[in-house]
Amino acid sequence: MNNLIKFCFALFVLCVSAAASAQVNIEINTPGVSALKQSMQTRHAQLAEFYANGAVGLTSDGMVALRDANTVPLAARQKVNGLVAAENQDRKSLYAEIARANAHPEWEGDIRNTFAQRWIQRAQAGWWVQSGGGWSKK
């Protein structure tokens, strides 16, 4: 009986350690990840000026948002809208693709959170980032 308990305990420890060692590779590269990153990189050249003037900010859930359109000429606001929508679509696809490439689609939420922190950490000084529901200038 003791042996059975020891065996069960050992099995439990093994499962826990196996689960703990399962780590997500957020740097994983697949054609999907590559296509999405390429698309986002191309768009970044257009979005950069709107990050810098505060029109667009980085949200705490790993997306971008139009936070103050007043800094953008009226005729360009629709374009910023389009850029934000396309960027968010790519970001959502990227998180899903990385989770799927790691063979754990259910990790999408955690990957999104990790990226959210990363984007905000790597944001340039002067960009607007969201934390605790409010916006602050980095």
Partner 1 sequence: MFNKTIIYTINRLLNGCLFGLLSFCPLFLSAPLYAVQITLNVADVAAPSFAARGIKVILAQEGSAEFSIDELHMAEKIWRKVHVHCSEFLLSSARVTCHKGKLDAIPDLPFTFSYEFASQRLELRLTAEANELWQVNADFRAQPWRATVLLRNAQGKRLASLLPPNGPLPTQGALNGTLVVHGDKAGVSQINADLRLTDLAVADMSGLHAAEKLQGTLHVDAARTGQTWSWRGALDWQGGELFWQPLYLRGGHTLRASGQWDNTQLKVTQAVVNLPGVGKVEMQALWDVKKSNLLEGRLVGENLSLANGFADYAKPFLEKSALSATELKGFVDVDWHYRDGATQALLIKLRDVAVVDGEKRFALHGINADIPWHAQVQSMAHVAFADGELMGLPLGATQWQIQMRGNNFILPTATLPILDGKLEVNDFYLHNINDTWQWNFSSTLTSISMQKLSTALHWPEMHGSLSGSIPKVSYQDKLLKVDGTLLFRVFDGTVLANHLELFDPFGRAPRLSGNLDMRELDLDLLTRTFSFGNIQGRIDLGVNNLELVNWLPVRFDAKLASSPGKYRKKISQKAVENISSLGGAGGVAALQRSFLRIFENFGYERIGLSCALHNDICTMSGVEENGNAYTIVKGGGIPAITVMGYNRKVDWSELITRLKRVLQDNKAVIK
Closer of 83 and 129 to partner 1 (Cβ): 83
Residue 23 CB, nearest approach to partner 1 (Å): 15
Size of the site for partner 1 (CB under 8 A): 29
Q: Of residues 1-40, which lie at the interface with partner 1 (CB under 8 A)?
A: 29-36, 39
Question: How many Cβ atoms sit within 10 Å of the Cβ of residue 108?
Answer: 18
- Contact by Cβ (8 Å): 78, 69: no
From candidates 26, 58, 95, 97, binder to partner 1 by CB under 8 A: 97
Q: Which amino acid is at 116?
A: A
Residue 51 CB, nearest approach to partner 1 (Å): 16
Nearest to 44 by CA among 137, 119, 131, 125: 119
From candidates 1, 75, 121, 124, binder to partner 1 by CB under 8 A: 75
Residue 29 CB, nearest approach to partner 1 (Å): 7
- Contact by Cβ (8 Å): 54, 44: no
Give CA–CA dist 40/123, Å, rounded: 15
Nearest to 19 by CA among 94, 135, 91, 107: 107
Residue 32 CB, nearest approach to partner 1 (Å): 4
Residues of this chain that interact with partner 1 (CB under 8 A) are 29-36, 39, 66-72, 74-75, 77-78, 81-82, 85-86, 89-90, 93, 97, 101
